[in-house]
DNA sequence: CCAACTGTAACTATATTTGTTACAGACGAT
DNA sequence: ATCGTCTGTAACAAATATAGTTACAGTTGG
């Protein structure tokens, strides 16, 4: 599946803002943490702003912050803001309408895919940005939490130079009955 | 999301074979119903064969059929056979490890994505190919069901001779948002 | 006015899936 | 045994989507 990382990046971005707690973040700072280009972040921030998840301010001393409290933003909100379509697609070209299976498989599949999408949405609706931040906290020292530049004061070191390796995803084993 | 249609096509292919009921289908026949190239189908059949969902036979009079009864093939089996990764991905490049959020967001996200994947798998595990065929049947006249070539009786008239006309987007009308 | 931001357009680069052509090898029929 | 009909696969082109880059207009605080 050619899954996109848009959802992961969007959650990351908003988590930074929840972490920064009202202080507006610049796209450059966010980009540094996400390890990408600032324009990529600004593009995504525009989408998030359209869904009323963040507010941005132009001009000097500008930046973006959450539009509401982290506990009032669910992962479903984020998902719907940045991922346009459902989890699966139907055929790229419509099947042969002269075949008894081909003419109807789309309807049946749509039913299945809607069930899948609903299941995904139910899971995402049950977690808020606040939950994400909570899960994050135990992992880091919370000593210098406030007022610290989010990404890293000066130049990114380890992540930017040289080869990068994608962290493998440990996949959950199926639950065949 | 750049979802692939592999799952949809795989379900379609296997449904054809369930419908054909033991009679081996040629890749060309299947391709005609799916409205694609026979090699695309053969590639997919190889994957399905590796997961022991179909058996194929080379040579004249060859073809492919289900490896077991339709009620013993779940949509999860099909999903796992043709879709390699989970529903979402993490960042394309790892986040900045010098950022307190960046260094840990991957772990948190993996937890979320695993929950999503599990939810998807639970849904898919609860439907078999037999169910798909059942949902299909009410849509078509079942009169000439048995012993009829799947794609279209003889000569495959409309769909095969001459230019294959692109059937207008009648198909996926239900815009899966 | 100036410096520091965002918003956006217009590209290029990269990755993945899909479509196509070509061909070796298997196999049934004659 | 050889011939026509299949599958399995390689190799490559086309299509699509995402990500990354450069450039610049417009906004805002100082």
**Nearest chain A alpha carbon to B99:** A151
Per-residue pLDDT reduced to its tens digit, B128-146: 999 999 998 776 554 444 4
Residue A174 has pLDDT above 90, yes or no: no
Please list, in sequence order, all residues whose beta carbon lies within 8 angstroms of the beta carbon of residue A155, skipping any fewer than 6 positions away.
none
Indicate yes or no: CB of A166 within 8 angstroms of CB of B12. no
Q: B112 and B81 in contact (C-beta within 8 Å)? A: no
Q: B41 and B30 in contact (C-beta within 8 Å)? A: yes
More confident site: A162 or A106 = A106
| Residue matched to tokens 């943490």 | A33
Q: B68, B115, B116: best mutation site toward chain A, by most A Cβ within 10 Å?
A: B116
Q: Closest partner residue to B35 among A1, A11, A94, by Cβ?
A: A94
Nearest one of B79, B123, B127, B8 to A120, comparing CA atoms: B123
Of the candidate ranges A19-33, B81-95, B98-112, the one whose mean pLDDT is the lowest:
B81-95
Q: What is the pTM assigned to this prediction? A: 0.81
What class is the B6-145 domain? Answer: mainly alpha
Residue B172 has pLDDT above 80, yes or no: no
In this prediction, residue A85 carries a pLDDT of: 72
In this prediction, residue B140 carries a pLDDT of: 56
Per-residue pLDDT reduced to its tens digit, B147-156: 444 444 333 3
Q: Which residue has its C-alpha nearest to nucleotide D7's C1'?
A: B58
Residue B124 has pLDDT above 60, yes or no: yes
In this prediction, residue B91 carries a pLDDT of: 87
Nearest one of B133, B33, B29, B120 to B83, comparing CA atoms: B120
User: What percent of chain B stands above pLDDT 70?
Assistant: 76
Residue B24 has pLDDT above 80, yes or no: yes
More confident site: B11 or B154 = B11
Sequential DSSP letters for chain A:
-B--SHHHHHHHHHHHHHHHTTSPBPHHHHHHHHTS-HHHHHHHHHHHHHTTSEEEE-STT-EEEESS-GGG-BHHHHHHHH--S-SS---SSPPPTTSTTHHHHHHHHHHHHHHHHHHHHHHHHT-BHHHHHHHHGGGS--TT-TT--SS-SS---TTTSS---PPPPPPPPP---
Q: A132 and A11 in contact (C-beta within 8 Å)? A: yes
| Domain residue ranges of chain A, discontinuous segments joined by + | 6-145
Residue B20 has pLDDT above 80, yes or no: yes
Query: How many whole angstroms separate alpha carbon B17 and alpha carbon B150?
Result: 9
Q: What is the mean pLDDT of residues A112-141?
A: 90
Residue A75 has pLDDT above 70, yes or no: yes
Query: How many whole angstroms separate alpha carbon B51 and alpha carbon B58?
Result: 18
| Residue matched to tokens 């000569």 | B155
- Checking each nucleotide's C1' against the CA of B93, the nearest proves to be D19
More confident site: A151 or B154 = A151
Q: B102 and B96 in contact (C-beta within 8 Å)? A: yes
Of the candidate ranges A63-77, A143-157, B38-52, B85-99, the one whose mean pLDDT is the lowest:
A143-157
Query: In which element (H, E) is residue B17 found?
Result: helix B6-20
Residue A116 has pLDDT above 50, yes or no: yes
Q: What is the mean pLDDT of residues A21-27?
A: 95
Task: Give ∠ CA A109-A106-B154 in degrees, rounded to 5.
Answer: 130
> How many Cβ atoms sit within 10 Å of the Cβ of residue A135?
18
Q: B77, B88, B111: best mutation site toward chain A, by most A Cβ within 10 Å?
A: B88
**Nearest chain B alpha carbon to A88:** B3
Of the candidate ranges A11-15, A138-142, B10-14, the one whose mean pLDDT is the lowest:
A138-142
Q: What is the mean pLDDT of residues B112-125?
A: 94
Taking contacts as CB-CB distances below 8 angstroms, the residues of chain B near A151 are: 96, 98-99, 102
- The tokens for A171 are 């996949």
Indicate yes or no: CB of B101 within 8 angstroms of CB of A127. no
Residue A141 has pLDDT above 50, yes or no: yes
């Amino acid at each position: 599946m050619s899954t996109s990382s848009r959802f992961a990046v969007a959650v990351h971005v908003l988590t930074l803002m929840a972490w920064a707690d009202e202080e507006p973040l610049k796209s450059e700072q966010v980009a540094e943490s996400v390890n990408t280009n600032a324009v990529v972040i600004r593009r995504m921030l525009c989408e998030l702003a359209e869904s009323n998840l963040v507010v941005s301010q132009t001009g000097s001393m500008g930046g973006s912050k959450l539009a509401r409290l982290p506990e009032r933003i669910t992962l479903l909100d984020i998902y719907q803001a940045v991922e346009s379509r459902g989890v699966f697609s139907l055929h790229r070209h419509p099947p042969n309408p002269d075949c008894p299976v081909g003419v109807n498989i789309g309807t049946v599949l749509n039913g299945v895919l809607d069930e899948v999408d609903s299941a995904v949405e139910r899971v995402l609706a049950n977690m808020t940005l606040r939950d994400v931040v909570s899960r994050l906290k135990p992992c880091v020292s919370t000593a210098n939490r406030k007022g610290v530049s989010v990404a890293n004061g000066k130049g990114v070191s380890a992540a930017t130079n040289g080869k990068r390796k994608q962290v493998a995803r440990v996949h959950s084993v199926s639950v065949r009955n």
